[in-house]
């Protein structure tokens, strides 16, 4: 039996009350009994008979010592007498709020620092305990319990609804979402799961109370996850694409963790239900969560398609978080991953097509004499620098696409070699990077011959190939890129660099060489130079 906790309970000492004669010092009666006639001898004779109810059996002779046990008896009398006051205080707290209870001795102001919902819940528990141990008529007990519990439940529901409304509105939080915060926020059990459970009945259909509770928890989970999902999409344009993709992957992991925890709660709270009931309840709970995932994924795909080769690493970064040895055979969000993988598969051939189309565009007037590095060369270098960070996801997508199938508009010869599969991630990435480099060199050669003046074409070609070679072979931004540069790729870059350098010297210094090697007898100046 657990009695209501009464902090700082001290025995009443009324100075105006008549002291008890005898003993080691004055002891005073409580105020509510001080006006009654008092006979110390009769009181001592009556103490042994009350020994077993309020006090422990400490005296071996069955009688109580006078002074300490009299004080304990007074404490017990005072506690029993204050029960009615405690019930009134709890009712005042629930019915009228904190203002009506703060002035009471049992409710000092500092006790409300934990929040209204917490204190209201504690007050409701204390009141239920007081009513349960109060000896009065059974009908009045049931009536009081029903009235107080209904009132307290309504108050808690209003506070909870207010909390949800405030959390689902306003600005998006700047801090990252932490799943442990959601675990602390979501209650570990819900009475509506088991209210009118009927789990001992043979009927397998879930009761309306359970369905309502499951639907409510699913909606609340969506509210908790929705704000962070919006934040991931909103900040995707301001942060690195791979970082944004990994943030989205972590958000999906949080969503899956919530779904797993809710499934465990359903299993724990309905142990006697059939599997069909558990499955139906879980499907009801997942509906709002899956709807949120579908909406967020649609926004993500629309964002990536704005510039596919720029934001493809967003999708690759997410696939990287969802792929690995532990997730190779089982992916919970198969449809969403398939959609993202389709975007990634489309990005590889489109990236090569963009590089190839750069050579077919008309030259901008006034740019014939420009020898600066082309935009598509800078994009190609940045693209290759990011591949090592998502090499696992990129290799998986390329293997699914097929070796050489990223060449749009070109007939792919059937090779006698076996097709690449699992374990050939390194090889497939080397082949793709080789095609990127050779396509960029081909486009540069075409532009230099058709869109540049003869005096500037060699300088343009040399500058661009030198930039491409320097940032991939000599000093790449990501050191791991060297691991994916095969020997044919490096040979192609070095060979074209030497060719471009030779063409540059041939174009710009051949007149000077002709002058220097001219016959010395034709001109005095020429002869002087020759000498």
Interval 356-377 mean pLDDT: 76
Q: Find out whether 94 and 152 touch, Cβ atoms under 8 Å.
A: yes
The answer as to whether 209 is a domain residue is yes
Domain end among 279, 304, 329 = 304
Instruction: Measure the CA–CA gap between 85 and 196, rounded to whole angstroms.
Output: 34
Please report the pLDDT score of residue 59 as a whole number. 46
**226 and 361 in a common domain:** no
Lowest mean pLDDT, pick from 41-55, 90-104, 148-162, 394-408? 41-55
Please report the pLDDT score of residue 446 as a whole number. 87
**277 and 394 in a common domain:** no
Please report the pLDDT score of residue 47 as a whole number. 52
CA atoms within 13 A of residue 306's CA, in its CB half-sphere: 10
Residue given tokens 């060979």 in the structure block: 495
Q: Find out whether 74 and 20 touch, Cβ atoms under 8 Å.
A: no
Sign of the torsion angle spanned by Cα atoms 14, 17, 20, 21: positive
Helix (H, G, I), strand (E, B) or coil at 130: helix
Helices marked H in 358-386 — which ranges?
375-386
For 481-526, what is the HEC assignment? Answer: HHHHCCHHHHHHHHHHHHHHHHHHHHHHHHHHHHHHCCCCCCCHHH
% of the chain surpassing 90 pLDDT:
3
Instruction: Give the tens place of pLDDT for each residue, 479-493.
Output: 888 888 889 999 999
**184 and 93 in a common domain:** no
Interval 167-182 mean pLDDT: 52
Q: Find out whether 410 and 361 touch, Cβ atoms under 8 Å.
A: no
The answer as to whether 171 is a domain residue is no
Please report the pLDDT score of residue 93 as a whole number. 63
CA-CA distances (angstroms) from residue 517 to 71, 455, 503?
Answer: 127, 22, 19
**114 and 226 in a common domain:** no
Sign of the torsion angle spanned by Cα atoms 121, 126, 132, 137: negative
User: How deeply is 433 buried, as exposed, middle or buried, from its count of CB atoms within 10 A (0-12, 13-18, 19+)?
Assistant: buried
State the DSSP string of 14-25: -TTSPPPSSSSS
**382 and 240 in a common domain:** no
Interval 447-471 mean pLDDT: 83
The answer as to whether 526 is a domain residue is no
Size (the chain), residues? 531
**510 and 481 in a common domain:** yes
Q: Find out whether 330 and 320 touch, Cβ atoms under 8 Å.
A: no
pLDDT confidence of 9, banded at 50, 70, 90?
A: very low
The answer as to whether 183 is a domain residue is yes
Please report the pLDDT score of residue 237 as a whole number. 75
**192 and 159 in a common domain:** no
Q: Find out whether 166 and 183 touch, Cβ atoms under 8 Å.
A: no
pLDDT confidence of 175, banded at 50, 70, 90?
A: low
The answer as to whether 49 is a domain residue is no
* DSSP character at residue 372: S
pLDDT confidence of 34, banded at 50, 70, 90?
A: very low
Q: What is the mean pLDDT of the chain?
A: 68
Please report the pLDDT score of residue 467 as a whole number. 92
The answer as to whether 263 is a domain residue is yes
The answer as to whether 384 is a domain residue is yes
Instruction: Give the tens place of pLDDT for each residue, 224-244.
Output: 888 888 888 888 777 777 777
CA gyration radius for the chain?
A: 42
**475 and 368 in a common domain:** yes
Domain end among 118, 138, 163 = 163
Please report the pLDDT score of residue 359 as a whole number. 80
Residue given tokens 């050669």 in the structure block: 445
Instruction: Give the tens place of pLDDT for each residue, 199-217.
Output: 444 444 445 556 777 778 8
Helix (H, G, I), strand (E, B) or coil at 305: coil
**155 and 117 in a common domain:** yes
The answer as to whether 14 is a domain residue is no
Helix (H, G, I), strand (E, B) or coil at 156: helix
Lowest mean pLDDT, pick from 122-136, 154-168, 375-389? 122-136
pLDDT confidence of 255, banded at 50, 70, 90?
A: confident
**502 and 381 in a common domain:** yes
**186 and 153 in a common domain:** no
Instruction: Give the tens place of pLDDT for each residue, 281-339.
Output: 888 888 888 888 888 888 877 777 776 655 555 555 555 444 444 444 444 456 666 77
Residue given tokens 């051939």 in the structure block: 349
pLDDT confidence of 418, banded at 50, 70, 90?
A: low
Our count of domains for the chain comes to 3
Which residues span the domain enclosing 395?
346-516
Per-residue pLDDT at 344 exceeds 60:
yes
Domain end among 250, 272, 304 = 304
Please tell me which residue, 13 or 454, carries the higher pLDDT value: 454
Q: Find out whether 97 and 74 touch, Cβ atoms under 8 Å.
A: no
Q: Find out whether 437 and 468 touch, Cβ atoms under 8 Å.
A: yes
**508 and 418 in a common domain:** yes
């Amino acid at each position: 039996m657990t009695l209501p906790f009464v902090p700082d309970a001290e025995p009443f000492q009324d100075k105006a009350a008549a002291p008890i004669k005898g003993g080691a010092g004055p002891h005073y009666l409580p105020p509510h009994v001080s006006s009654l006639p008092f006979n110390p001898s009769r009181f001592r004779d009556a103490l042994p008979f009350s020994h077993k109810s309020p006090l422990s059996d400490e005296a071996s002779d069955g009688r109580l010592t006078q002074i300490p046990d009299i004080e304990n008896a007074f404490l017990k009398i005072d506690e029993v007498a204050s029960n009615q006051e405690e019930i009134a205080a709890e009712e005042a707290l629930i019915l009228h709020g904190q203002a009506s209870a703060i002035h009471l001795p049992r409710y000092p102001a500092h006790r409300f620092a934990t929040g209204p919902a917490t204190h209201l819940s504690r007050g409701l528990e204390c009141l239920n305990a007081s009513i349960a141990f109060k000896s009065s008529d059974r009908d009045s007990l049931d009536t009081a319990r029903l009235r107080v519990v209904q009132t307290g439940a309504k108050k808690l529901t209003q506070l909870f609804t207010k909390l949800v409304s405030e959390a689902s509105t306003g600005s998006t939080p700047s801090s990252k979402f932490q799943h442990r915060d959601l675990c602390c926020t979501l209650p570990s059990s819900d009475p509506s799961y088991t209210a009118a459970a009927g789990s001992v009945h043979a009927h397998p259909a879930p009761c309306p109370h359970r369905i309502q509770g499951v639907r409510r928890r699913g909606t609340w989970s969506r509210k908790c996850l929705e704000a962070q999902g919006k934040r991931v999409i909103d900040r995707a344009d301001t942060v690195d694409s791979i970082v944004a993709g990994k943030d989205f992957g972590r958000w999906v992991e949080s969503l899956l963790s919530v779904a797993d925890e809710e499934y465990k709660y359903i299993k724990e709270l309905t142990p006697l239900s059939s599997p069909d009931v558990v499955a139906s309840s879980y499907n009801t709970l997942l509906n709002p969560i899956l709807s949120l995932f579908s909406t967020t994924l649609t926004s993500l795909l629309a964002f990536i398609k704005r510039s596919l080769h720029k934001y493809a690493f967003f999708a690759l970064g997410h696939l990287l978080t969802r792929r690995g040895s532990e997730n190779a055979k089982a992916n919970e969000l198969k449809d969403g991953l398939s959609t993202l993988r389709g975007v990634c598969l489309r990005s590889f051939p489109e990236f090569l097509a963009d590089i190839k189309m750069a050579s077919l565009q008309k030259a901008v007037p006034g740019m014939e004499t420009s020898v600066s590095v082309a935009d598509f060369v800078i994009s190609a270098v940045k693209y290759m620098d990011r591949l090592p960070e998502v090499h696992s996801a990129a290799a998986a997508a390329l293997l699914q696409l097929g070796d050489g199938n990223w060449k749009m508009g070109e007939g792919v010869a059937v090779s006698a070699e076996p097709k690449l599969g699992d374990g050939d991630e390194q090889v497939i990435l080397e082949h793709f990077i080789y095609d990127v480099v050779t396509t960029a060199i081909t486009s540069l050669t075409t532009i230099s011959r058709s869109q540049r003046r003869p005096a500037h074409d060699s300088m343009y070609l040399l500058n661009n190939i030198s930039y491409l070679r320097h940032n991939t072979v000599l000093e790449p931004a990501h050191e791991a890129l060297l691991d994916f540069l095969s020997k044919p790729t490096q040979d192609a870059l070095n060979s074209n660099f030497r060719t471009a350098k030779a063409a540059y010297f041939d174009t710009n210094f051949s007149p000077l060489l002709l002058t220097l090697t001219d016959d010395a007898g034709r001109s005095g100046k020429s002869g002087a130079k020759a000498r």
